[in-house]
A = this chain, B = another copy of it.
Amino acid sequence: MSMINYELYKVFYLAAKTGSLTQAARLLYLTQPSVSHAIKQLESSLGATLFARNAKGVELTQEGAILYAYIEQAHTFITLAEDKMAELSNLESGELRIGGSDSLFKHYLLAYLEAYRLAHPGIAIRLIHGTTPELIASLKEGAIDLGVVRLPISDTQLEINRGIELQDCFVAGSQFSELKDQTLSMEQLLRYPIILFSRNSRARSAITDLFREHGHELTPQIEVGSVDLLLEFARKGLGISFVTREFAARHLEDGTLFAIKLDVKVPPSQVGFMTLRNMPLSKAAQQFLSMIG
């Protein structure tokens, strides 16, 4: 490998382009002898005279012209690279890939994403949904920059940032209005039809575990696959849904749903942003996290 100092090619490029060592020196913030020396070095490394020197400046020789054709291309790519990196740095372009659940995207991140998009329209936002283990795998493959999930998570390779706290609760519609002012026990609640999120959900296992700790088995009459359906089924009176209070906010406000008071405190759940401990965040992701945190 000949391994010529690439910096010499920059000098050569500018000398060839301007047709003057003096001008090249000016562009490079160097002196003319320095450029002269650099060109001489390149010439001796390549074993060819690259320029004809004359009183008006320099002119490419046959060999110099051939070299220039290649170096011009190389220079173009490097310039493009520098421009691109500047864009990325200025958040004028780039990609922000977030993993999470659809409900967290919709009810928690949406507002931030809108603000982010407005502030940095050049950055493409990609939302990838999956379960927590899937998202951890995606992170480790580099398919996403960060994941938004319910805590706790224990994986030494991950770095966790806490987000908001969410309070899960049971909600019902007007068909069950007799429960509005009561405080129910677990036993009492279990007499009613229960609607839960489908298996593999962190929220679901949290609540069934809580019931089990108190000696009760929480078995749903209906299982659904989305938060929207949980809310919809509860509103239609098909049963009592276990949902995140914050996600039901609209319906709780307009009265189509109400929260049921339990005599047992349902522990809140923490939302967290997980990133790979070893992998530095992209500027786009850094900026997004800083907008939230």
**In this complex, which of A10, A77, A278 has the most chain B Cβ atoms within 10 angstroms of its Cβ?**
A77
A47 on the B face (CB < 8 A): yes
CB distance from A251 to the nearest CB of B (A): 39
Which B residues lie within 8 Å of A49 (CB)? Answer: 280
Please name all residues of chain B whose beta carbon is closer than 8 Å to the beta carbon of A52 when the two chains form the complex: 276, 278-280
Interface size range on A against B: 35 or more
Contacts of A70 in B (CB 8 A): 77-78, 80-81, 84
Cβ–Cβ contact A81 & B74, under 8 A = yes
Taken together, the copies of this chain in the complex come to 2
Question: Is A46 an interface position by the 8 A CB rule?
Answer: yes
Q: List 20 A-B contacts (CB under 8 A).
A: A1-B27, A3-B28, A5-B7, A6-B6, A9-B78, A48-B89, A48-B283, A52-B276, A52-B278, A61-B280, A66-B84, A66-B88, A70-B80, A73-B73, A73-B74, A73-B77, A74-B74, A74-B77, A74-B78, A74-B81
Using an 8 Å CB-CB cutoff, how does the interface string of A68-82 with B read, 1 for contact, 0 for none?
001101110110111
Q: Which residues of A1-32 are within 8 A (CB) of B?
A: 1-7, 9-10, 27-28
Q: Which residues of A contact B (CB under 8 A)?
A: 1-7, 9-10, 27-28, 46-49, 52-54, 59, 61-63, 66-67, 70-71, 73-75, 77-78, 80-82, 84-86, 88-89, 94-95, 142, 145, 276, 278-280, 282-283
Given A95-B62, A279-B52, A282-B61, A77 and B71 touching (CB < 8 A)? yes
* Given A7-B7, A280-B49, CB of A85 within 8 Å of CB of B71: no
**Which residue of the partner chain, among B66, B78, B95, contacts A71 with CB atoms under 8 Å?**
B78
For the A-B complex with A6-B6, A7-B7, A74-B74 known, give 18 more contacts whose Cβ atoms are closer than 8 Å.
A6-B7, A6-B10, A9-B81, A46-B82, A46-B86, A46-B89, A48-B283, A49-B280, A52-B280, A54-B278, A63-B88, A66-B85, A70-B77, A70-B78, A70-B81, A71-B78, A74-B78, A77-B77
